[in-house]
Structure 1
Amino acid sequence: MVTSCTTERHDHHDVYAAQCPCREVLDLLANKWSALAIGALEEGPQRFGALLRRLEGVSPKVLTSTLRRLEEKGFVDRTIYPAVPLHVEYELTPLGRSVAQPLAQLRGWVEDHLDEIPVG
């Protein structure tokens, strides 16, 4: 019998199953701001303002929400350094680093093939 989230082999989850939590993670990682934030953090720890400048077009509210979701799921660590004003840095966790390469390949593919795709 197949459960709502595992295949008949029971050794991995099935992202195609309607109730599989995989979909929530896929939704997060497939989001353009998540993919771009993870890419920017591949360069090393970043402060919020640096990420805001790097991710041109993102609003502070959306970036905050994106970073919180990535932190909640374990892709990003947020470190607060006691200073005046507070110094906060974001960096990829080992889990975040493990997904950075596939996302980099996707971003690269988009850049390489953009001229073949109708946009706008």
Structure 2
Amino acid sequence: MMNQDKNENLEILLTEYRTLKDEEKSIFSFQFTIIGVWLTFLGVMINSLFNQVKEIQTYVYSNYDIYSENINEILSNYDIMPGSRDIMALLISILIPGTCALFGLLWLDLTTRFVKEAHYIFIIEHKIKAN
């Protein structure tokens, strides 16, 4: 009877061990998916930022001779390209930092789960060795 209980406990521990190992593999895979999605979002936003800068630069150089001899006067004129300036401000102040924070928190959550499961697997391994 004692040996049967020991075998049942060992089987439960082994099942739990295998399940946790599979969970860790899926977390590890999901972490790299998150990195890929984050880099894609970041690349799109930085590309949008550079496109807005290019539009402003094109506008400034096309109007350089007309409005002023001093390019700094054109650049400091807030009436030119208001849409581009608003998009740039939104990207720099909210979207890029917000996206980085969101994906950083997701990454930290997965890392925390991974570490907790690894610690529990360590405990299970010692229980299995003891049996």
**Same fold, judged at TM 0.5 (above):** no
Q: Which has the larger radius of gyration?
A: 2
Structure with greater proportional strand content: 1
Higher relative contact order (CA 8 A, sep 6+): 2
Task: Give the TM-score band, short-chain normalised.
Answer: under 0.3
